[in-house]
Amino acid sequence: MRYPHILALALALGGAGLAATPETTAQTARAVRDAAEASMTLTGRIDIGTDGHVTGFQLDHADKLPADLAAFVQGQVQAWQFQPVVANGTPVTAQTPVSLRLVSRPSPDGAGDNVRVAGASFTRYDPEDTSRVTSVEARAPAYPKNLAAMRAKGDVLLLLKVGRDGAVEDVVAEQVNLRVVGKESQMRQVRNEFARASVSAARSWIFRPPTTGRLKDAESWTVRIPVRYAMGERAAYGTWEAYIPGPREHAPWRTSQAGADAAPDLLSAGGTYMADLDDGPRLLTPLGG
């Protein structure tokens, strides 16, 4: 979908959260502009027919979106096909929650921004679910004082290895996305400080291992947890947030990269998401883009 410079507007508006440091040069700003994205996370419910086709889609708070954007999302989801849901050997109708991540990036011809559906999740965090790892104690990381002073904001996506006793055996900052603009060396330093604060806090977190389900007897579990540094601000539903994506890091204990497309702006802060368990309906249609 082509939009008239959504990202340019997001970068220009203070509400998008991209602040520039005084040392940022025009050349750096251009380079950052080329690397920047804007994203929006939406939620809803999908009805799936016995043949796997989407028979209905209810987008939450559609009235808060521009009509053409809501229609675009509706059309994308309605065209999806899932692997039929089977119960007792028979295909059945089903309904699933969905979280959608839209991403806007500048088009190569400079005529506007390209909007696409870049991510979809069909599970929601339930702290009472005994088939998944759930949080017992997870004190939020302290905001690094120097970063708070410069009003730096960002999102850290953590990967944690949780042992059978519920303690964290290992942790890595998988990705740090920033909403502050500066020279590459400055942004690298900010990413490192956000990552260190998050990893340090996560090492003392305690979890409840699953007691039911197919993974209850595993030796350990990998969970993905987003940490948000936003100076107390919270984006309103249906608004774009601009950010500079950080590089992805590999967790050394993982042999599988299941769920590698997850992103901090698709997962809700405060949730615990099992990285290697996807027990929602299986989408057969490529997201595209």
Which structural domains are found in the chain, ordered by start? 2-121 (no CATH), 134-274 (3.30.2420.10)
241-275 pLDDT, tens digit per residue, is: 888 889 999 899 987 655 445 555 567 777 888 88
Surface-to-core class of residue 219, CB atoms within 10 Å of its CB (0-12 exposed, 13-18 middle, 19+ buried): exposed
> Nearest to residue 264, comparing CAs of 286, 289, 241, 232?
241
**What pLDDT score does 15 carry?**
38
Q: Report CA torsion sign: 83, 86, 91, 92.
A: negative
User: For residue 196, which phi and psi values (nearest 5 degrees)?
Assistant: -60, -45
**What pLDDT score does 14 carry?**
37
In angstroms, the CA 18 to CA 166 distance is: 37
Sequence-ordered list of residues with C-beta below 8 angstroms from that of 183, at least 6 positions apart, any chain: 21, 23, 24, 25, 28
In angstroms, the CA 49 to CA 206 distance is: 40
> Nearest to residue 275, comparing CAs of 195, 255, 70, 181?
255
> What's the whole-number mean pLDDT along residues 30-41?
75
For the entire predicted model, the pTM comes to: 0.82
**What pLDDT score does 19 carry?**
52
Write down the mean pLDDT value for the chain. 84
**What pLDDT score does 174 carry?**
93
User: Measured at the alpha carbon of residue 40, what is the angle toward residues 238 and 150, in degrees to the nearest 5?
Assistant: 100
Please say whether the beta carbons of 111 and 255 come within 8 A. Answer: no
> What's the whole-number mean pLDDT along residues 84-92?
94
169 pLDDT more than 80:
yes
> Nearest to residue 163, comparing CAs of 227, 207, 131?
207
Please say whether the beta carbons of 222 and 275 come within 8 A. Answer: yes
User: For residue 14, which phi and psi values (nearest 5 degrees)?
Assistant: -60, -30
> Nearest to residue 235, comparing CAs of 110, 101, 127?
101
> Nearest to residue 201, comparing CAs of 251, 156, 249, 246?
156
